[in-house]
Homo-oligomer: A and B are copies of this chain.
Amino acid sequence: MPVTLKTIAQKTGFSITTVSRALGGYDDVAESTRQLILETAQALGYQPNAAAQRLKRLRANTIGLIIPTFGPRFSDPFFSELLAGIGNQSAERQFDLLVGTQAPGPNEIDAYRRMESGRVDGLIVVRTRQNDVRIYHLQETGMPFVAFGRCDEAQDFPYVDVDGEVGMQKMVQHLVDLGHRRIGYIAPPPELNFSQHRIAGYATALKMNGIPYDAALVIYGDLTQQSGAAGAVYLLGIDPPLTAILAGNDTMALGAMSTVRERGFVVGKDIAVGGFDDVPDAEYAHPPLTTLRQPIYDIGRQTCDMLINIIQGIPLSEIQVLLEPELIIRKSTG
């Protein structure tokens, strides 16, 4: 028998209207009345019914996030940090966080559709892709969303991201400054928007240093540690030999490090390795990984904040936020 406004009304002798107005902070309730009602509500442990509020207000006060979990062995530190940021910020803004788990594929759109019909007021979209069907769907339905990931030429939407191009330029420049000229790159999947920017940065920096871009030194991974390990197997087999391997994210870089060591090389001495993200594992890797820091937790908070502002009709100071990653030099590059 949950406590409702009716319960408090019966207990205090005021109407449901007065109780609602007292609890809601309206100024047309006598102070003595308000105090009595507040004390009674507190004593009875009253909690407003979320369903009733949402029905009346036509608002869910909930945001949605679908994590692209690719399978039972899903493990990506990126999402741990992101979820921590989003979760903390949504709680701070008094919004609920509805989480789904669905990898890209034929069922992906269904997962997004299931979050509709009054369940969420907006969505955070991660790892935006070229001609992303999720984006088209959300734009078509008018569902508010903010992306952690850039848009491409065909789609335009609010986002937070880091400038992968600038970041990769810094990383390549760092390696060139250390004397490297044959630098391999394990790129994220090409359909991901940020992949192209990171490859562009890699290519531009090589060019700026008079080093020809060689497509043979680039292999695509799928952001997992295994694909990084496999990518390094390929890259280490190239002749003339490479002296550095970069990866489009830390997880692949850590995988690449495993292969480098497995092949008998010393990471940072024989082969330099660099990543992107600066997930916590990067710092405690052996050796610690040189990487480009994107503040994943803060980005989580920021995309959440932006989304809730859009939902609440609060104008954004910036609709598209591109952050500059910071080069974190650790022992994996010497």
Contact = CB atoms under 8 A, between A and B. Distances in A.
Interface string A97-123: 111111000000001011011110000
A77 interface: yes
A91 interface: yes
Given A51-B51, A118-B51, A119-B50, A226 B77 contact: no
A96 B50 CA distance: 15
Copy number of this protein in the oligomer? Answer: 2
A173 interface: no
A50 to B, nearest CB: 5
Contacts of A83: 67, 69, 83, 99, 101
Contacts of A72: 81, 84-85, 297-298
Nearest to A255: B284
Nearest to A286: B258
Interface stretch (A12-20, A52-60, A176-184, A206-214): A52-60
A83 B69 CA distance: 9
A86 B279 CA distance: 24
B54 A284 contact: no
Interface in A61-77: 67, 69, 71-77
Given A84-B69, A99-B97, A118 B280 contact: no
Given A75-B80, A81-B73, A81-B74, A280 B225 contact: yes
Interface of A: 2, 47-52, 54-55, 60, 67, 69, 71-77, 79-81, 83-88, 91, 96-102, 111, 113-114, 116-119, 225-226, 229, 255, 257-258, 261-262, 279-281, 284-286, 297-298
